[in-house]
Amino acid sequence: MSNASLFERAQQSIPGGVNSPVRAFRAVGGTPRFIARAEGAYLWDAEGKRYIDYIGSWGPMILGHGHPAVLEAVQKAVREGFSFGAPTEREIELAEEILKLVPSAQQVRLVSSGTEAAMSAIRLARGFTGRPKLIKFEGCYHGHADALLVKAGSGLATFGHPTSAGVPPEVVQHTIVLPFNDIAALEQAFETHGTELACVMIEPIAGNMNFVRTQVPFMRRLRELCTEHRALLVFDEVMTGFRVALGGAQSVYAKAIPGFAPDLSVFGKVIGGGMPLAAFAGPREVMRHLAPLGPVYQAGTLSGNPVATACGLETLRQIQRPGFFEALTASTRTLVDGLVAAARDAGVPLVGDSEGGMFGFFFADALPQDYNVVMATDKERFNRFFHAMLDRGVYLAPALYEAGFVSAAHTAADIEATIEAAREALRS
């Protein structure tokens, strides 16, 4: 079997040949790699070629693929039963582990996907506040719920228009989209709509326009305005949670902004360790509005699945080992610094940034601060670089607009091999 033949076959039974759009390589061109197996920091495709993996299942594989302790926990759980549709002790253990690491939250509800967690958090915010409107930011992705599939129009604070067919305009009439890191637009939106705002949802470090940080002054002002207008600040930490730091991105901002905390937090990816599992969490006074205690309905047959919770729980325990994040942060920084140096030696404009085990780079002279600047970076050069790296056995995200991920399984030799591949690719 070849990747090409599998892709041709897949397109007959699966729309576009893939079950999530970015996997189709439409942004970069070429044939997607069909993965046969993975171990540690590596993937092997259907043709037997090995790649150093910087996707990590889009973030969850922080320990690398097939970590022995996680495998043991999952195998034990599988023997006990796949799914019960009833409570288990492990759900409590995972919830307690999350709450131990996230001081802003007192209770947590487990679900099966980041999309489900984000849409449920918004419903909860609306139910708690009794208000209809929400703010999101251009370039931030919070899953494919209808109310979140919007983009900004003209002006500083415009109501969204659907960016997907099948989403009626009236569904997004209460969604306001603002430019990322723009304090003036933020203040205008609160001045105009403050009494109607249920929440503001933000990726603290946006991972779906590559890697773009929320600037500290912007985050500080956002927290002030939410408090002043009694709107909930919802942190979407599906990517950043337990990935950029043990306490998530909110712990990074708490170091820069005394007393900082979001009102609700959305988690995914790492807390499932590669299994379909996500969560949203917050203070007891907000979470008690969820059914069965309160009037905000949310349910899921596979929520808290016993195999998924076993995988996530062991992953969270492993990343709390002494020195884990210090080592992961150092490896990721070495990679980014190496890529920047390789580009500089080749006379190619490239900038990069990282936090914990998450990173991004742009073919540009300066790090972008918003979506429009990201869109103006050199896409064609990225596409050429992507394929040159793929040919050299390095698997990067197949789109300019996606962040990358390093795992604890990446060795110094893996990082150096990646940098050397980049040197060759950038000169070609």
Question: Which tokens in the block code for residue 129?
Answer: 């506040």
Tell me if 150 sits within 8 A of 143, measured CB to CB.
no
Number of helices (H), then strands (E), belonging to the chain: the values are: 13, 19
176, containing H or E segment: strand 175-178
Given 42, 51, 54, 141, the catalytic residue? 141
Given 269, 353, 401, 414, the catalytic residue? 269
**What phi and psi values does residue 143 have, to the nearest 5 degrees?**
95, 180
Parallel, antiparallel, or unpaired: how do β-strands 404-405 and 358-362 relate? antiparallel
> Could you confirm whether 141 is annotated as catalytic?
yes
Residue 21 neighbours by CB under 8 Å, 6+ apart: none
Question: Which tokens in the block code for residue 268?
Answer: 């995914």
Cα separation, 252 vs 354, in Å, equals: 12
> Could you confirm whether 269 is annotated as catalytic?
yes
Using CA atoms, how far residue 186 sits from 161, 204, 417, in Å, is 19, 15, 44
**What phi and psi values does residue 311 have, to the nearest 5 degrees?**
-65, -50
Parallel, antiparallel, or unpaired: how do β-strands 358-362 and 158-159 relate? unpaired
> Which residue spans within 10-129 are E strands per DSSP?
35-39, 42-45, 50-53, 107-111
Tell me if 286 sits within 8 A of 128, measured CB to CB.
yes
Of the candidates 263, 187, 252, which has an alpha carbon nearest to the alpha carbon of residue 225?
187
> Could you confirm whether 236 is annotated as catalytic?
yes
Given 53, 182, 236, 414, the catalytic residue? 236
Q: Which ranges of 347-411 does DSSP label H, i.e. alpha helix?
A: 371-375, 379-391
Cα separation, 149 vs 169, in Å, equals: 11
The C-alpha angle 315, 318, 322, rounded to 5 degrees, equals 150
Tell me if 382 sits within 8 A of 375, measured CB to CB.
no
- Percentages helix, strand, coil for the chain (3-state, rounded to 5) are 45, 20, 40
Amino acid in position 87: P
* Residues marked as catalytic: 141, 236, 269
